[in-house]
Amino acid sequence: MKRIICILSMLLCMAAETVMAARAPVSEATEECLGCHSSIHPGIVEEWQNSRHARITPREALGVTGLARKVSARTVPDYLLPTAVGCAECHTLNAKVHADTFEHNGVSIHLAVSPRDCATCHTEEAVRYSGNLMAHARKNLAANPLYQDLQQQILGRPVRREGKLTFEPPAAETRQSGCFYCHGTRLEVVGMETRDTVLGEMEFPRLSGWPNQGVGRVNTDGSLGSCAACHTRHAFSIEMARKPHTCRECHVGPDVPAYKVYASSKHGNIYAAMNRQWDFSAVPWTVGKDFTAPTCATCHISLVVNTDGQVLARRTHEMSGRLAWRIFGLIYAHPHPMNPDTTRIRNKSGQPLPTDFDGTYAAEYLIDAGEQVRRTETMQAICLGCHSASWVRGHWKRFERTIRETRSDIRAATGIMADIWARGFAKGPDSDDSPFNEAIERTWCDAWLFYANTVRFSAAMAGGGDYSVFADGRYQLSRRIQELNDWLELRNQLFPPTPPIALRGLPEKPYRVQ
């Protein structure tokens, strides 16, 4: 027994030495950070020590050639080359442009690491991400009065006065734990505070909007986004970013039911059964060898090759680069915006929407048919890595048919809602009122925000008949349209127009928040 224990101890020591040998040398500054934080924040330190950043120096990473190279920068500052990418290497970068930079044990550091910092090594990824809808997610929500109105009706505090119900603006913390959890907050220094730490009293900046890792976070250096939204700190794992659970954090539904649809699809079925056998860290990612069914990253982001080494799709961090359609209905599905800053968009009625209420595209702000074809072909190249051309064509035919059908469905629902507004049974945009603050308007909102979206996501992601029909799909969509119509018909019977009036149809006035 003693001999066995001795042998096991030797093996464990050898394993530990192998792990230590695999780690890259650490800078003096990072060594100093680790000296304290390994006991204060052991979870963070251990996570980093198991990361790729801890094992490989930028000099070694720059030496990798071909598709396996993960550092897209052509050069990296000389002082960063010989050591691991550690605490100091990230939290002291670009100190002069970070408003949250402060003196900590004789070193100028900042709390929130930004895409601009990561761009030191991952230049192309940062540039691509900055041209992505996600990078502008906070502004696209916060600076659109229509979306802000909907947010207030959902998150606001209900107050009933003199028989009238209103929703007061939500608290900042409510917004931050609600919509801006994913869309991102604005980080701003609002002062300094003294904290009693295990090492004595220390001064730290107080940040409003913190903590947050939202995709459109506005950082203290002015950059947009958080790489940790997908590559969670401090492992910054490729594997984590490639698994669908990461995307699930924000895309779970019912407004954007991507994860639920994926989980109920054949692809999700294969992933659930077989993913333990897959290699999620391989770069490039080889279809058929490293994985046998796509995840979110396969279709939208990853560098994917076939078993002959031919590139099926190049790595991108511009998530819409392979998408011809924006299937999240606002109010209708539409071609993707040309510019990721969607606050510029105005439909012909002056509303901040990519379509009119009748479904007409705000075409000057959206990609054209030629770009839609290019993006479709880019996506289909990935599908063709596993499927025949006839299979892929058949899938797209169904998907695009679904887009046409759901646009028609929502046109019918919106036409009924417009008649309700025109008869004065509810107050909407033509009355300079919110289109979301009455129960019947919520019924209309459900039709396009939840159910039409689910039908389209199911068609796009092969999500299965049951999910697209009965699980927040066609059944609920047709029911909401019927409810709208019956609601209007009942009021027309109770309050017939005298004399009959011509309904004004869809609203034409620009939307305005009161």
Contacts by 279-285 with C-beta closer than 8 Å and gap 24+?
280/238, 280/239, 280/242, 280/243, 281/237, 281/238, 281/239, 283/67, 283/68, 283/70, 283/238, 284/67, 284/68, 284/311, 285/242
Indicate whether 81 pLDDT > 80. Answer: yes
Distance CA 334, CA 359 (A): 9
Least confident window among 19-23, 397-401, 467-471:
19-23
Per-residue pLDDT, 262: 96
Distance CA 134, CA 128 (A): 11
Per-residue pLDDT, 153: 95
For the stretch 170-220, pLDDT in tens is 999 999 999 999 999 999 999 999 999 888 899 999 999 999 999 999 999
- β-strands 285-286, 304-305 pairing: parallel
Least confident window among 83-97, 339-353, 488-502:
488-502
Q: pLDDT higher for 230 or 508?
A: 230
Residue-averaged pLDDT of the chain: 92
Q: What is the pTM of this model?
A: 0.90
Indicate whether 288 pLDDT > 60. Answer: yes
Per-residue pLDDT, 347: 96
For the stretch 335-349, pLDDT in tens is 999 999 999 999 999
Indicate whether 500 pLDDT > 60. Answer: no
Least confident window among 285-294, 336-345, 424-433:
424-433
Per-residue pLDDT, 507: 53
In degrees to the nearest 10, what's the CA dihedral of 365, 370, 375, 381? 170
For the stretch 243-258, pLDDT in tens is 999 999 999 989 999 9
Per-residue pLDDT, 466: 87
Per-residue pLDDT, 506: 55
Q: How many CA atoms lie within 13 A of 392 on its CB side?
A: 14
User: Is 472:454 a contact under the CB 8 Å cutoff?
Assistant: yes
User: Is 253:260 a contact under the CB 8 Å cutoff?
Assistant: yes
- State both tokens at 499: 């004399």
Per-residue pLDDT, 398: 96
Per-residue pLDDT, 3: 39
Indicate whether 113 pLDDT > 50. Answer: yes
Domain ranges in the chain are 42-229, 318-494
User: Is 58:25 a contact under the CB 8 Å cutoff?
Assistant: no
Q: Indicate the SS3 state at residue 195.
A: strand
> Per CATH, which fold does 318-494 belong to?
Hydroxylamine Oxidoreductase; Chain A, domain 2 (1.20.850)
pLDDT band at 15 (very low <50, low <70, confident <90, very high): very low
Per-residue pLDDT, 209: 97
